[in-house]
Amino acid sequence: MLEGILIGLGTVLSLTNLLMVVAGCLVGTFIGMLPGLGPMSIIAIMIPVAISIGDPAAALILLAGVYYGAIFGGSTSSILINAPGVASTVASSFDGYPMARAGKAGKALTVAAISSFAGGTIGAILLMAFAPMLANVALLFHSAEYFALMVVGLSAIAAFAGSGQIGKALMMTVLGLIMATVGEGVLFNLPRFTMGIRDLQTGFGFITLAMAMFALPETIFLILDPGRSGQGCSDTNAIRNLKISRNEVRSIVPVVGRQSLQGFLIGVLPGAGATIASFLGYAVERNIADKEEKAEFGKGSIKGLAAPESANNAACTGSFVPLLTLGIPGSGTTAILLGALIALSVSPGPRLMIDNPSVFWAVIISMYIGNLILLILNLPLIPYIARILSVPRNYLIPFILFFTLMGAYIGQNNATELLILIMMGIIATILRFAGYPLAPALIGFILGSMLENNFARSMQLYDGVGFILERPMTLGLLVLAGLLVLVPGYRASRARAQAGNAAP
């Protein structure tokens, strides 16, 4: 391994490849900040540029930099304007945006940057040390295990439900699963639940629903509530205050450590990815927090922001394990990267470390250097980025609406998406007024199609639902999912019972 690391360092530290790292990080960060332009779109656009470079190592370093740079920068729009344009940054808005509204935008962006750096760095170290071994672990997961893993992801609804709201969260999750069934099904390539609208044959777009459930209701709230739609944050000291206290550092260090490890392991599994890692990271930290800390989640908890940011960046790095060692894309983005590798005449798989060690180790080493560059580039810019919140709300509302509409249109390149956005936005606003949590609906939608696909494949392979009992790992994951849903409810009912007994 030491020889491989030296080969990777020698490759990455050339002037050309260092410029590729910097260029990829800059482009990725900028794209990640814009709702609607995710890493998949920009990587697909940049493949001809990468191929024209000629050198496979330099090309992959550039594309990988765009990938984790977009994940790194994607939290900015989530934190500042509650408009997550990338699925893996949705969870970052749950506590990041309340922190920004409380005048802690600079601190929120700092926590996000440091957590992202830590998660990406820990992920790169684990990738370097355990990639071949983890590839064998990933092979143990088949469709049945992925189905169970999706169920575990759905069990995170308990983390997004307030006191006594488990029922509402469950209803919203079911609503998200229903929306995921719109379009062509996995068993039959026929449109379903499209109501005769041809544009719905491919289903709802993630960007459209994300904007409709978060950005648009927030804009409507800004318009309806004069107290929220007045002047923006005029305290420039609050914007410039990027420091986090020693107590805050001590509180997030174990969170970052746990979620970097968990996120990386989830990223290693093909098909799981940064989105599930971020949701599970948030859910785990909320469930293990004590009563006082748990009450802060959703209201501006520093742990609630650090957990998903660490997890999604570590998972982004972990997704390169199946790509490089097995030739299996773990997500849509890594599928595009796989196409770029093939176009560059590089065959990913078990022999990549032997046949092209410079490519394999250069990508891994570039991830560590890239995360360091991202931190150096982003920390000095935080005061200027956070100044978006100093814009008066009367001017900020059209700005948010513009990016909301643009993101929905660009996501599908279809004007029908704008009508869906408005309709869903109105429904989401009504549900928010009624006290229904919106996050479980989006979780259900994101995981719904993967849940259905893996369940259908498992049913076909095992001729029924018998795979649940035949595969111990599947059964174990389903039991874990049940515990994640039932334990928080049991703890809440027990706390109410104790409070009732203590009352005179």
> CB atoms < 10 A from the CB of 195, how many?
7
Instruction: Provide mean pLDDT across the span 312-329.
Output: 76
The string of DSSP letters for 319-382 reads THHHHHHH---SSHHHHHHHHHHHHTT---STTHHHH-HHHHHHHHHHHHHHHHHHHHHHGGGH
Instruction: Provide mean pLDDT across the span 329-340.
Output: 68
Instruction: Provide mean pLDDT across the span 384-402.
Output: 68
Residue 99: exposure state from Cβ atoms within 10 A (0-12, 13-18, ≥19): buried
pLDDT single digits (tens) 412-423: 667 777 888 888
**21 pLDDT above the threshold of 60:** yes
**248 pLDDT above the threshold of 60:** yes
Provide the pLDDT for residue 231: 43
Instruction: Provide mean pLDDT across the span 116-135.
Output: 79
The DSSP letter of residue 212 is: I
pLDDT single digits (tens) 195-205: 777 777 778 87
Per-residue CA distances from 399 to 165, 366, 418 (Å)? 33, 36, 16
Percent of the chain with pLDDT over 70: 78
pLDDT single digits (tens) 65-119: 888 788 777 777 788 777 775 667 778 888 888 888 887 888 888 888 888 888 8
Provide the pLDDT for residue 332: 62
Percent of the chain with pLDDT over 90: 2
Return the top range by mean pLDDT from 124-133, 245-254, 267-276: 245-254
Of 361 and 77, the structure prediction assigns the larger pLDDT to 361
